[in-house]
Amino acid sequence: MTIEDRVRRVLTEAVAKEPPPRGAPLPAALRRRRRRPVLLGAAALVLVLAAAVGLAAVRGRDGTRPVAPVPSTVPQSTVVSTATWRTYTDTDHNLRLRYPPDWVVRPRNQEGTVTLAPREHARKALAIWPPFAVTVTAGGYYYLGEAPELEFVRGRLPGGQAYLYFQSDPTRVPLRGVPGAPKVPANVADRQRSGSYSIDWGRDCKGIGRRRCGPHGVHATIYAGNTPLWDRYVRVAHAIVRSARPVTPTGPAYGDRSLPRCLPGQWRMVWIGEYGFSGAQRFFLSGGVQYLGGPRCHLRTTLTLQVERDGRRLPISGNPASRVVEGDLPGDGIVKEDGSWVMSGGPLFWTFYWDEWCNKGFGGPTRLRLTAPDKGQRLNIAGPRESPPGPDFPSCQDRGRPSRLAAWQ
């Protein structure tokens, strides 16, 4: 299933079930390929889809009114005083935040989700396409982004929680044919705007659904129907999100280091056929760690990816690339349910990406060798193959920029 198929499916369900808004309609800027079904949890899917939104808008490509550039950093909460604000508390999902007294709070049908909106927009706060709203979901699966997009801004809330933030580009035309979606205005400034936070909330037993105990995240989306509304309310919206705190302390997302170390026979690296392209110039692949049995244990290991041809390492910057994964098994492992891989935790999920992968000399048959050197494990994965170009997905080109291999997060 392509990203466009997934977007249409999710937005169709959104119209039917009225869940909280998760951002503007999305262009098919990111393409994925899978060899088998993969389910990564609701929070993961939100970020996959949201990553397809283009960023860094400066001026409308159609020559209309300019749009304010996307900030390189998220506005600090100090620009808006929260001293006189009210407090919203969701003890069941371990979230507390502050909001202005002239805003309204509306719970959603989805567990752990609430929408906040200016009072003048209260009537339409729960609409799929509200004038302006901030929607927050607490207790979701831990997930600090899935697709490796350069435009994510990393940071920490005043309370210390790590987050990824990204902002939409209204110059990108949303997907066509989404039921209930408004028509795209000709003027870029009249188009929808959105910004999304993915926040590491640590571990507790106040999550959503059957996976309550474990690593969780808080996911917040700021949505505006147009640029003037965005400019009017966005700083307050950022301050609302940045005021978020756990009601009770949480443990670290990486798990319990006092547990016995996982033995080599208790786990294995798994590549589940998850790969794709961010635009045309960036290739990425993802996977997880499968629990094989034995007592509960803690795993910390370094995964290394090397791009090769005919058994030799290619001269690519960052090749080989490494990243540390750490979590508890079996809770954070990837499992099969009803024939599909399901990621029940995030710390052991891994992603690597290869920028400018089709540069001269690097295109063609390559092999990606993933290893856990200290554990003696190895996976051999075929290198990227370019798919036919389309109107929203141009062919990969040698742009004269350096090729680079890196780990995501």
Q: What angle do CA 320, 321, 322 make, to 5 degrees?
A: 125
Dist. CA 216–CA 140, nearest whole Å:
5
Which residue(s) pair with 116 in the sheet?
105, 134
Same domain, 230 and 331: no
**Residue 373 domain boundaries:** 264-407
CB neighbours of 110 closer than 8 A, spacing ≥ 6? 19, 20, 137
Same domain, 238 and 268: no
Domain count, the chain: 2
Same domain, 289 and 190: no
pLDDT digits (tens, 9 = 90+) for 307-363: 999 889 999 999 999 999 999 999 899 888 777 777 655 789 899 999 999 898 886
**Residue 200: predicted pLDDT:** 93
Residue 315: CATH number of its domain: 2.60.40
**Cα distances (angstroms) measured from residue 287 to each of 34, 148, 378, 387:** 11, 13, 13, 21
* Phi, psi for 316 (deg, rounded to 5): -110, 135
- Cα–chain center distance at 295: 32
Residue whose tokens read 């709070």 = 105
**Residue 273: predicted pLDDT:** 82
Does a structural domain hold residue 257?
no
* DSSP codes joined into one string, 285-326: EEEEEEE-SSS-EEEEEEEEEEEEETTEE---BT-SEEEEEE
Does a structural domain hold residue 249?
no
Same domain, 208 and 335: no
Same domain, 318 and 361: yes
**Residue 197: predicted pLDDT:** 93
Does a structural domain hold residue 98?
yes
**Residue 224: predicted pLDDT:** 95
**Residue 140: predicted pLDDT:** 87
**Cα distances (angstroms) measured from residue 298 to each of 22, 280, 292, 378:** 34, 38, 13, 20
**Residue 180: predicted pLDDT:** 67
364 torsion bin: left (phi>0), alpha (psi -120 to 50), beta (else):
left
Same domain, 51 and 112: yes
**Residue 50: predicted pLDDT:** 37
pLDDT digits (tens, 9 = 90+) for 169-205: 888 765 555 666 777 888 888 888 999 999 999 999 9
**Residue 152: predicted pLDDT:** 81
Dist. CA 64–CA 59, nearest whole Å:
8
Same domain, 37 and 129: yes
Same domain, 95 and 197: yes
Same domain, 74 and 191: yes
Encode 374-407: b = buried (16+ Cβ within 10 Å), e = exposed.
Answer: ebebebebebbeeeeeeebbeebeeeeeebbbbb
Query: Per the confidence metrics, is the pTM higher than 0.75?
Result: yes
Q: Which residues of the chain have pLDDT under 70?
A: 1-79, 145-150, 173-180, 343-345, 363, 386-393
